[in-house]
């Protein structure tokens, strides 16, 4: 049996405020020791994820921008991958809509409604840094979007409903992360997770999938795996919008809960 772990980053593996994953280091080291694939599945861009791939020496496939695409390192699998295109050092399986089209539709919605909508494409690197708390370099990487636009909507609940209605009328979809709304195409984390899981099954036959998340945009991913975990928000509560019968609640906020979940599930199993 092969474990495959899918994880959100912001608010889950990394702290919501500090962007640190120090609290999760024991579990990260355990996964590395046991050679268990750790798959980043997040709203972050490819450029942002490559930083974590290098820092954590986690040279496995990853899923960017809420399931916009799967990036598989060349020669990672021994089986032939018929689907996808070769882009740089990756085999890429795309699910998302182009960022240019997404930005155009969001701009149309802003003009039509007059609502105060601010996306990453409206800000320079300093603006994204100020809004997110990221350093300037990381903020610039966060702007290198390919399939998804993160935005703030500074209006009331009625405006939220109107914007969602217009997004859907334009043939696009939306989700809500820990900080931002996201406008995207016909993709979500769950579709990408299921597609990548199928590839792992072709390679290893029997696999057990695990996912860890904290917010509503993680729900499709959590539904797509065998063992879903929800970590606590910074206020110590679990996201009430995550309603899933088989969900397991990790004991701890963000990376603390992440570490506890992995150590409890895998650290106590000597057969892995």
pLDDT of the chain along its 272 residues, tens only? 699 999 999 999 999 989 999 999 999 999 999 999 999 999 999 999 999 999 999 999 999 999 999 999 999 999 999 888 999 999 999 999 999 999 999 999 999 999 999 999 999 999 999 999 899 999 999 999 999 999 998 877 788 899 999 999 999 999 887 788 999 999 999 999 999 999 999 999 999 999 999 999 899 999 999 999 999 999 999 999 998 999 999 999 999 999 999 999 998 665 55
Cα-flanking dihedrals φ and ψ of residue 64, to 5°? -100, 160
pLDDT of residue 271: 58
Record the tokens describing residue 29, joined without a space: 């080291």
Helices (H), 183-254: 189-204, 219-223
> Residue 157: what pLDDT?
79
Largest distance between two CA atoms of the chain: 59
The predicted pLDDT at position 5 comes to 98
Single out the catalytic residue among 8, 10, 15, 188: 8
Task: Characterize the bridge pairing of strands 227-232 and 248-253.
Answer: parallel
pLDDT value, residue 154: 83
What pLDDT is stored for residue 82 in this prediction? 84
- Distance separating alpha carbons of residues 87 and 184, to the nearest angstrom: 21
- Among this protein's residues, is 8 annotated catalytic? yes
Spatial distance between the Cα atoms of 33 and 31, rounded to a whole number of angstroms: 5
Confidence (pLDDT) at 156:
79
């Amino acid at each position: 049996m092969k474990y495959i772990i899918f994880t959100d980053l912001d608010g889950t593996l990394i702290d919501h405020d500090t962007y640190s994953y120090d609290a999760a280091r024991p579990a990260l080291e355990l996964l590395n020791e046991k050679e268990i694939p750790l798959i980043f599945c997040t709203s972050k861009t490819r450029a942002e994820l490559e930083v974590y791939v290098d820092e954590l020496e986690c040279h496995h496939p990853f899923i960017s921008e809420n399931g916009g695409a799967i990036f598989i390192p060349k020669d990672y699998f021994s089986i032939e991958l018929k689907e996808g295109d070769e882009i740089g050092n990756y085999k890429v399986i795309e699910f998302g809509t182009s960022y240019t089209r997404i930005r155009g539709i969001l701009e149309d919605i802003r003009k039509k409604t007059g609502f105060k909508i601010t996306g990453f494409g409206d800000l320079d690197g300093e603006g994204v840094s100020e809004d997110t708390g990221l350093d300037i370099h990381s903020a610039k990487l966060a702007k290198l979007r390919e399939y998804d636009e993160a935005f703030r909507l500074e209006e009331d609940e009625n405006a939220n409903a109107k914007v969602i209605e217009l997004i859907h009328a334009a043939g696009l979809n939306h989700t809500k992360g820990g900080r931002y709304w996201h406008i995207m195409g016909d993709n979500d984390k769950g579709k990408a997770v299921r597609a990548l899981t199928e590839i792992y099954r072709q390679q290893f036959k029997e696999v057990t999938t695990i996912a860890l998340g904290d917010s509503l945009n993680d729900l499709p991913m959590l539904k797509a795996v065998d063992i879903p975990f929800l970590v606590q928000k910074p206020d110590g509560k679990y996201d009430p919008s995550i309603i899933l019968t088989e969900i397991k609640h990790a004991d701890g906020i963000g990376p603390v809960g992440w570490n506890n979940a992995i150590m409890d599930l895998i650290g106590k199993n000597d057969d892995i």
